[in-house]
Amino acid sequence: MQDPNPADLVDRLADEQLLGDQLANLPAAIGRPETIPQSRTRGRVVGLGATLTGVTLIAGCVLIVVGLISAVASGLGLLAVGAIALGFVLVATHWGWVHVAEATANAIDARRDREVLARRRAWLSSVRPYTRYEVTTSVGEDGSISIVRTTYRPVPTGDRGFTFVPEVDEVEVHSGDESAATVAERAELLRRAAASETERERARFEVAADAYETALLDRDNEQQRVQARRAAADALSERINANLRDPPLIE
């Protein structure tokens, strides 16, 4: 996969799915958001909803049976019709208690977790869209050690969001017969190289982001955002050309 152009991502914010289903896509170095405490109230409210669902279903069935018995015994009078009609209404709507309980539990949790959710969103907004490189190790069943290098590339989502797509670039498998010092030295060498490349990508993004912020006057004006992204691309290009003309002495 081709590395993204930082100028194309400077005006994007991390997708809220990274707090949920896509949490595993976050690079480990970024950390993880504050967890939402488990709610005891939700279990009680949902349990009450399930109980009311069962009670409503049973009551509806009982009313239908009573109404039918009354109709057979005394004719189809107002009482029998009312019992049957009410019974059918209760049977038809008994699942509604489940939805009511779920909505109530969600409302209670939202009020209780308001501050936590705000901190999670603030944490997410601090995640910047540049490529990260990470090195991890794992142990196989045969005692071998695998050194895995993974690239986390930011990709656009929706109109203004982005997420990360992890991709394993390289896997080195070292047998259990190799010395621990040799494997550790190799892993550290790859980790430092990954950190250096991550820092390079961060610096490229910061150049583009600074130029974008300087050029942007109105965040709600699409034309100005396009012009600001162009300014970011020009600044990044100038930075790259400067490095080509006068490359650093030490990598």
Domain ranges of the chain: 6-33+121-245, 40-112
At residue 220, the pLDDT reads 60
Mean pLDDT confidence for 59-86: 80
Selection from 32-46, 113-127, 209-223, 227-241 with the highest mean pLDDT: 113-127
Q: Name the residue among 81, 20, 94 with its Cα closest to residue 52.
A: 94
The pTM of the whole model exceeds 0.85: no
Look at 7 and 134; give whichever has higher pLDDT: 134
| Residue 251 confidence class, pLDDT cut points 50, 70, 90 | very low
**What is the arrangement of strands in the sheet containing 161-174, beginning at the earlier edge strand?**
13-14, 161-174, 145-157, 132-139
Least confident of 26-30, 188-192, 222-226: 222-226
**Residue 46 pLDDT > 80, yes or no?**
no
* Residue pLDDT, tens place only, 96-148: 878 887 888 777 767 777 788 888 889 999 999 999 999 999 888 888 899 99
Residues belonging to the chain: 251
| Residue 211 confidence class, pLDDT cut points 50, 70, 90 | confident
Give the end-to-end CA distance of the chain in Å, rounded to a whole number.
Answer: 25
* DSSP-derived 3-state class of residue 14: strand
- From CA 78, how far away is CA 85, in angstroms rounded? 10
